[in-house]
């Protein structure tokens, strides 16, 4: 809302901000953002390889999808609140709050005594991640131009590539040694390092003005989505799909989500502003993020479990096969600006990426009944290339289409959609896997059951990828000049600096 936004003032002349690398004027801030992103990246890749070990220790295979769903739900519903607060009080206090919550959640997860306790503590971690990931991206959007953002996003995305090797390796080692709790405790020094770098290198001057945070909307959204995910995950397991309990859970979730829509229409500053969905570019990029979330959680959650169950490979090998996904992603994200959207526009770049994603997930689904580590790694790599050409360019397009005081909300809406896609995707795919295993009459660790459930999950991921293509086709034809026109000289836009 014009006249009511916070302003971050830059104290460095435009000429001194040349370059994007770590040795440039903005390099210390970029390093701080990379380390902060690393917290979330490692957590995303380190846990999946250890799920069988965790289940053996504390039990609850049918509940393990909650480890992902509750984390992602907490992350999703908090993103928009943090985004609004970041546009109100500044980026720095919010990202530090997120790091602090992530630290507390990690310590609690490390001492969890049961699956329900671990699930609850994962929610605390998710609340922290809801601030760290989107605010880091928002800060990058503040300090770099559209032309520079592809390179900057490539630096940040490279963290995912490194984490894709470090995370599964650590997770596999801890799992094989029976030390799965260190999967969470290893976050402690990383959190302290990230917080120290942010405090030392990122400085902002914020003109604070009164804003209204939509807490009612956040509570309604959280409650409604929790019931919806509960119904999907527990239906057919804890109760029959057609039972009164199932109907009541889904009806309650629908009522709360309906109330959320009504509250958002009347809220002074809603957590999901209507203008986000009224603008075609933002609406389609939000839909793309939703699809990316489903595809991402489908592969990261089930590829390691599938390989360990179907082939009996060690956790380290299963994790490294998954690493191909997050190696392909930053490679494509880094090249997306120079080779694609700055030349051809955002929409063609996204459509090329979606084509690769469909090719990768389709091959994985087609070959799932013939388990092979090499095939899984190859298909994950192709899918990762596709995701890198979809996620980063579509987010940059969304950021470039709005003014500074709307950028936090636009970024938050995109990250919110990706997290909701992952949270709901984890629940739906978990229900698919549990349903297939229950129908087979076999134990979840049986190779045949693991193969069948994996094949069903990968087919569902393919369906999600095909549906995401629709959002890409509906995306308006906007080239990179959109951002150039809006931003003009870098010095004309309020920025943060280190």
- In DSSP notation, 74-121 reads HHHHHHHHHHHHHHHH-HHHHHHHHHHHHHHHHHHHHT--SHHHHHHH
2 lies in some domain: no
497 lies in some domain: no
**Pair 163, 133: CB distance under 8 Å:** no
Same structural domain, 322 and 376 = yes
Same structural domain, 71 and 190 = yes
Same structural domain, 315 and 424 = yes
Helical axes 346-366 vs 373-400, angle rounded to 10°: 160
Average the pLDDT over each of 41-50, 91-100, 464-473 and give the range with the smallest value: 41-50
**Confidence (pLDDT) at 18:** 53
Same structural domain, 295 and 230 = no
Q: Band the pLDDT of 206: cuts 50, 70, 90.
A: low
pLDDT in tens, 257-305: 999 888 888 877 777 777 777 888 889 999 999 999 899 888 887 888 8
3-state secondary structure of 375: helix
**Residue 492 pLDDT greater than 60, yes or no:** no
Residue that terminates a domain, selected from 267, 293, 309: 267
Neighbours of 345 (CB within 10 A): 20
Q: Band the pLDDT of 15: cuts 50, 70, 90.
A: very low
Average pLDDT for the chain: 79
Task: Compute the radius of gyration of the chain from its Cα atoms.
Answer: 21
Torsion of CA 295, 296, 299, 302, to 10 degrees: -110
Q: How far apart are CA 89 and CA 112, in angstroms?
A: 34
Which two structure tokens, joined as six digits, stand for 440?
């087979």
9 lies in some domain: no
**Confidence (pLDDT) at 474:** 92
Domain that holds residue 484: 14-214+268-492
Residue that terminates a domain, selected from 230, 245, 267: 267
306 lies in some domain: yes
Neighbours of 81 (CB within 10 A): 22
Same structural domain, 151 and 253 = no
238 lies in some domain: yes
> Which CATH number do you get for residue 289?
1.20.1250.20
Q: How far apart are CA 460 and CA 454, in angstroms?
A: 10
35 lies in some domain: yes
473 lies in some domain: yes
**Residue 485 pLDDT greater than 60, yes or no:** no
How much is the average pLDDT of 210-227?
79
Which two structure tokens, joined as six digits, stand for 477?
């034809």
Length of the chain measured in residues: 498
84 lies in some domain: yes
H or E segment to which residue 438 belongs: helix 404-440
Same structural domain, 35 and 123 = yes
**Residue 495 pLDDT greater than 90, yes or no:** no
Same structural domain, 476 and 413 = yes
Same structural domain, 165 and 257 = no
Same structural domain, 141 and 242 = no
Residue that terminates a domain, selected from 267, 294, 310: 267
Same structural domain, 244 and 191 = no
**Pair 102, 111: CB distance under 8 Å:** no
Same structural domain, 454 and 307 = yes
**Pair 202, 139: CB distance under 8 Å:** yes
**Residue 242 pLDDT greater than 80, yes or no:** yes
Q: How far is CA 160 from the centre of its chain?
A: 11
Tell me how many domains the chain contains: 2
Same structural domain, 276 and 231 = no
Neighbours of 300 (CB within 10 A): 23
The 10 Å CB-count burial string (b at 16+, else e) for 444-467 is: bbbeebbbbbbbbbbbbbbebbee
How much is the average pLDDT of 99-123?
91
């Amino acid at each position: 809302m014009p006249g009511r936004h916070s302003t971050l003032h830059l104290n460095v002349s435009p000429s001194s901000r040349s370059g994007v690398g770590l040795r440039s004027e903005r390099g210390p801030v970029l390093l701080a953002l990379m380390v902060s992103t690393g917290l979330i990246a490692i957590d995303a890749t380190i846990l999946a390889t250890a799920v069988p070990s965790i289940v053996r220790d504390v039990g609850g295979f049918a509940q393990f999808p909650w480890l992902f769903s509750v984390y992602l739900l907490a992350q999703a519903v908090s993103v928009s609140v943090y985004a609004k607060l970041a546009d109100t009080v500044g980026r720095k206090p919010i990202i530090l709050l997120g790091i602090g919550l992530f630290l507390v959640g990690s310590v609690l997860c490390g001492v969890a005594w049961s699956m329900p306790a671990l699930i609850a503590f994962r929610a605390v971690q998710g609340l922290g991640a809801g601030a760290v990931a989107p605010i880091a991206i928002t800060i990058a959007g503040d300090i770099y131009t559209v032309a520079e953002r592809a390179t900057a996003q490539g630096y940040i995305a490279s963290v995912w590539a490194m984490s894709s090797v470090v995370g599964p390796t650590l997770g596999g080692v801890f799992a094989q040694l029976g030390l799965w709790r260190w999967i969470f405790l290893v976050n402690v020094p990383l959190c302290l390092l990230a917080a120290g770098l942010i405090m030392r290198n990122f400085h902002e001057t914020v003109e604070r003005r009164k804003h209204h945070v939509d807490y009612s909307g956040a509570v309604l959204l959280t409650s409604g989505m929790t019931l919806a995910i509960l119904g999907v995950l527990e239906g057919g397991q804890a109760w029959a799909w057609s039972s009164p309990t199932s109907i009541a859970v889904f009806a309650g979730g629908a009522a709360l989500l309906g109330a959320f829509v009504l509250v958002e229409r009347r809220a002074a500053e809603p957590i999901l502003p209507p203008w986000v969905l009224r603008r075609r570019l933002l609406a389609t990029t939000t839909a793309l993020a939703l699809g990316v979330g489903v595809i991402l959680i489908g592969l990261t959650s089930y590829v390691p479990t599938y390989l360990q169950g179907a082939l009996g490979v060690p956790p380290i090998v299963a994790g490294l096969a998954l690493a191909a996904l997050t190696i392909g992603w930053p490679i494509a994200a880094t090249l997306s600006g120079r080779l694609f959207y700055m030349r051809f526009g955002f929409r063609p770049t996204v459509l090329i990426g979606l084509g690769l994603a469909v090719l990768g997930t389709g091959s994985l689904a087609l070959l799932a009944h013939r388990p092979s580590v090499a095939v899984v790694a190859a298909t994950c790599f192709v899918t990762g290339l596709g995701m890198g050409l979809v996620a980063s360019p579509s987010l940059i397009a969304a950021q470039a289409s709005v003014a500074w005081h709307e950028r936090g909300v636009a970024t938050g809406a995109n990250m919110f959609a990706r997290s909701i896609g992952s949270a709901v995707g984890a629940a739906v795919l978990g229900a698919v896997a549990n349903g297939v295993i229950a129908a087979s009459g076999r134990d979840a660790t049986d190779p045949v059951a693991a193969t069948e459930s994996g094949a069903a999950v990968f087919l569902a991921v393919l369906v999600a990828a095909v549906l995401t293509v629709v959002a890409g086709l509906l995306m308006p034809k906007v080239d990179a000049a959109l951002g150039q026109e809006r931003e003009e000289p870098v010095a004309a836009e309020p920025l943060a600096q280190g």
